[in-house]
Structure 1
Amino acid sequence: MANVETRKNAAGKITSYRVEWYDKGKRQRMSFKKEHAALQWKNLLEAVGEDTRKAETALLRKSSRSPIFEEVANGHIERLINVRPYTVKRYKGYIKNHFDGIAHLPVDQIGEDDLIRWIKMMQKNGKSAKTIANVHGFIHAAMNSAVRRGLRTDNPCNGRLLPSDNATEDKAVFMTMDQMRQILAHVNMWQRPMFELLIGSGLRLGEATALTPADFQLDAETPSVRITKSFQEDDEGNWFVGPPKTKKARRTVALAPSTVAAIRDRVESTRAGEFILSISKETDVFPQHRQWLEHWHNAVGVAKASKVDKLVIERRPRIHDIRHSHASMMIAGGMNLYELANRLGHESIITTTKTYGHLVPDAHFRAAAMVEIALNGEPEQLEKGAAVVDSAQVIDVETVA
């Protein structure tokens, strides 16, 4: 139970009133100049079970007429236009799982210190720099919404220094063709066309499961598949076919002869308007994302445990890593990042560069050569090196984006 202690100086004069209480077993203290303020804080603590955060929130709300930030963030989501249901679901997950410390604060009372405490709390809870940045981006947008609505005058997220990503390894797993073949050896024949298509096209899983026969041009001079739709999940867990992830995800992807051969029978045996890729021959229930993920996971496990042809790979690849591996093979074959961005359906080439730029061999070779010339070469060699770089197909990422 909270109590108020009178503090006096050496002359016996009362100088302050200190409130002492225990929050989750830890002793807390706060001093006040006026007795009525100390008593108010004591009563407030007792009303909320001596939960310091709840007491602070209640005190702030008493002095503020603004809605709490959780309400503002939900209102921001409701005002969004042309946003995929999965994105809405993800944003609501941010509010539910990552808003501790700021959710119940009045939106006009949240300042820089609150956000710094929030970032430190996220780090303490083991959240990655990428997760913190993603949630912070949503908080920033919700705060902009609050400013537009006149609920506060500024955005406290502006200028925020977010933690750096200190991961020591790539999050993506890049498999070789031999490694993917080892895994495919443990996939049943009915499911194989799906994985052959993912390997040969780099499609997203949701794009592949939404394909119908009309999307394919297998006998054209350049065989291809047209991406115009994708399976999506709404905020209630229901799946439906909607537009692709981005405007540039609406694209045509050229197919190699081996990929055409792998999927031709399935395309030609599927009736018009029906989806060509189901998890089993006996069912046409869609979508089946979780089943596909499970079957890939199982195939990887069997391949790693196989004594005959054991898969040697440091980390277990996800089904999405097939897309990353496809991209790495395209780069190794000479495709530049601009072409790759179009093939993968990236909205911005910056995304492509951040994910795959380190795989571009010519860029690394040119950089190494330029460093060698700069360190050890003669002036005329420097000019020659500059000419080599000028003649290369270099993309100005900022300009293209």
Structure 2
Amino acid sequence: MATIEVRKNSTGRITSYRVEWYDKGERNRQTLPTETAAVQWKNLLEAVKHDTQAAQAALLRQASQSPSFEEVALGHIERLINVREYTIKRYRGYIKNHFSGLGHLPVDQITEDDLIRWIKGMVKKGCSPKTVANVHGFIHASMNSAVRRRLRQDNPCNGRLLPKDDSTEDKAMFLTMGQMNLIIERADEWQRPMWILLIGAGLRLGEATALNRTDFQLDAPTPSVRITKAYQEMEDGWAIGAPKTKKARRTVALAPSTVDAIRARVEAAGPSRPVFTISPETLVFPQHRQWLDAWYDAVKAAEALESAPLKIDKRPRIHDIRHSHASMMIAGGMNLYELANRLGHESIITTTKTYGHLVPDAHFRAAAMVETALTGIIEP
């Protein structure tokens, strides 16, 4: 417990106040000119359990004239250009849900130790390594903004050692065409063309729900669908906007069987109306929640089949249809560069990280190299 000693001169007049405390077994003293300052320092020490360094940092924060980090982060968002509204909404969610321990601090007083405590706190509350990395990336960018605005001299995020993803299972699930057919057969008849398009073209759900009749070229020498837009989640709901990335604006070739499955739906759609709706009567768009429910209903029905049931270890998401399409393209001989263009990935690095392990030639070449090396080693 910290104590305050009143200091007097030879005439008995109070000249100062001395605060005394123990930090890690070592006695510390601080002389202050007023009783108010001494009481403030004593209370601050006791609040941080006599940690001198923490108390000094708290005192500097109280005296700082800099804006809070939350204010800086919000200002960083306002300065962003050519960023999707969905991304802006996600960043605001980071501030609301993941800025505990940082947001209220003056931006010029945030230290490396604060970042380490924040990372440990994120892990403790159960956030995945990917979530920690995503939020840390936003914090890093906001700190860079603070440096550019000369609100602080350096970025404390530099060199941060983030938690590794030590999960032992793939996030992506790859369905065979046989498994997809079992699910499609159990789906509502009106909804089947949507599932056939997704597995046949590898589109994102938001891209597919935004399609209208003029996006399709079903009678061209190579039938195709042109992706120029996608449904996005905005601040106040959903709206059609640009695709996820520049390269997501693309033309996707369609197989004859896909064309046959979707032709009637495409030709029946109005010029400016969505081709794929959850039911003939529903006119509320984009219906993503309803599509998710419809997909899971079809999956559960396929799992419940008595003869030839759907045998899967975990329940696939709608986005796993896109992963399954990619795996089928690779199995058919498509290389990763072609696949990246077909899927609309901004970088082939994304394609390689997600699907590189599915490329059979790479595995065969690696096995052959190992065999050659081992044979060379064991030969006399």
Q: Alpha-carbon deviations, 1:135-172, whole Å to 9, x = none?
A: 11111111111111111111111111211110100011
How far 1:38 sits from its partner (Å)?
Answer: 5.5
1:283 matched to which residue of 2?
A: 282
1:254 maps to a residue whose letter is A
How far 1:308 sits from its partner (Å)?
Answer: 2.9
Aligned equivalents of 2:69 and 2:113: distance in 1? 15
1:368 matched to which residue of 2?
A: 367
1:258 matched to which residue of 2?
A: 257
2:96 maps to 1:96:
yes
Aligned equivalents of 1:70 and 1:181: distance in 2? 49
2:269 matched to which residue of 1?
A: 270
Whether contact under 8 Å (1:217, 1:224) holds in the other structure is yes
Aligned equivalents of 1:275 and 1:79: distance in 2? 34
Structure 1 portions without partners, runs of 5+: 8-13, 21-28, 48-53, 382-401
Whether contact under 8 Å (2:223, 2:255) holds in the other structure is yes
**SS of match in other structure, 2:189:** coil
2:333 matched to which residue of 1?
A: 334
How far 1:32 sits from its partner (Å)?
Answer: 5.4
1:156 matched to which residue of 2?
A: 156
Aligned equivalents of 1:254 and 1:299: distance in 2? 27
How far 1:126 sits from its partner (Å)?
Answer: 1.5
Whether contact under 8 Å (1:202, 1:322) holds in the other structure is yes
Q: Which moved more, 1:219-228 or 1:55-64?
A: 55-64
Residues 31, 268 of structure 1: CA spacing in aligned structure 2 closer, same or farther, 3 A cutoff?
farther
Aligned partner (choices 7, 16, 20) of residue 17 of structure 1:
20
Residues 287, 98 of structure 1: CA spacing in aligned structure 2 closer, same or farther, 3 A cutoff?
same
Aligned equivalents of 2:244 and 2:222: distance in 1? 25
Whether contact under 8 Å (1:210, 1:241) holds in the other structure is yes
How far 1:35 sits from its partner (Å)?
Answer: 6.2
- TM-score using structure 2 length: 0.88
**SS of match in other structure, 2:186:** coil
Aligned equivalents of 2:226 and 2:302: distance in 1? 32
Q: Alpha-carbon deviations, 1:190-229, whole Å to 9, x = none?
A: 0111111001000000000000110000011110000000
2:169 maps to 1:169:
yes
How far 1:339 sits from its partner (Å)?
Answer: 0.3
- 1:65-104 pair list within 5 angstroms: 65-104=65-104
1:193 maps to a residue whose letter is P
Structure 2 portions without partners, runs of 5+: 6-16, 48-53
Aligned equivalents of 1:90 and 1:38: distance in 2? 45
Aligned equivalents of 1:324 and 1:30: distance in 2? 61
1:131 matched to which residue of 2?
A: 131
Residues 376, 68 of structure 1: CA spacing in aligned structure 2 closer, same or farther, 3 A cutoff?
same
1:34 matched to which residue of 2?
A: 30
Aligned equivalents of 2:168 and 2:123: distance in 1? 17
Aligned equivalents of 1:266 and 1:31: distance in 2? 82
2:294 matched to which residue of 1?
A: 295
How far 1:19 sits from its partner (Å)?
Answer: 9.0
Aligned equivalents of 2:225 and 2:306: distance in 1? 38
Aligned equivalents of 1:92 and 1:55: distance in 2? 31
Aligned equivalents of 1:58 and 1:205: distance in 2? 49
Residues 107, 307 of structure 1: CA spacing in aligned structure 2 closer, same or farther, 3 A cutoff?
same
Aligned equivalents of 1:45 and 1:226: distance in 2? 65
Residues 180, 82 of structure 1: CA spacing in aligned structure 2 closer, same or farther, 3 A cutoff?
same
Aligned equivalents of 2:172 and 2:245: distance in 1? 21
Whether contact under 8 Å (1:210, 1:275) holds in the other structure is yes
1:349 maps to a residue whose letter is I
Q: Alpha-carbon deviations, 1:303-329, whole Å to 9, x = none?
A: 222323321111110001000010010
2:251 maps to 1:248:
no
Aligned equivalents of 1:97 and 1:301: distance in 2? 33
2:344 matched to which residue of 1?
A: 345
1:216 maps to a residue whose letter is F
Q: Alpha-carbon deviations, 1:356-383, whole Å to 9, x = none?
A: 11111100110111111122138xx9xx
1:260 maps to a residue whose letter is V
Residues 18, 342 of structure 1: CA spacing in aligned structure 2 closer, same or farther, 3 A cutoff?
same
How far 1:63 sits from its partner (Å)?
Answer: 2.1
2:224 maps to 1:186:
no
Aligned equivalents of 1:30 and 1:332: distance in 2? 69
**SS of match in other structure, 1:169:** coil
**SS of match in other structure, 1:191:** helix
1:123 maps to a residue whose letter is V
Aligned equivalents of 2:22 and 2:214: distance in 1? 73
Identity %: 70
Q: Alpha-carbon deviations, 1:286-319, whole Å to 9, x = none?
A: 1111110111112112222232332111111000
1:388 matched to which residue of 2?
A: none
Q: How many residues align?
A: 358
How far 1:6 sits from its partner (Å)?
Answer: 6.4
1:314 matched to which residue of 2?
A: 313
Aligned equivalents of 1:217 and 1:177: distance in 2? 25
1:118 matched to which residue of 2?
A: 118
1:278 maps to a residue whose letter is T
1:17 maps to a residue whose letter is E
CA RMSD across the alignment: 2.8
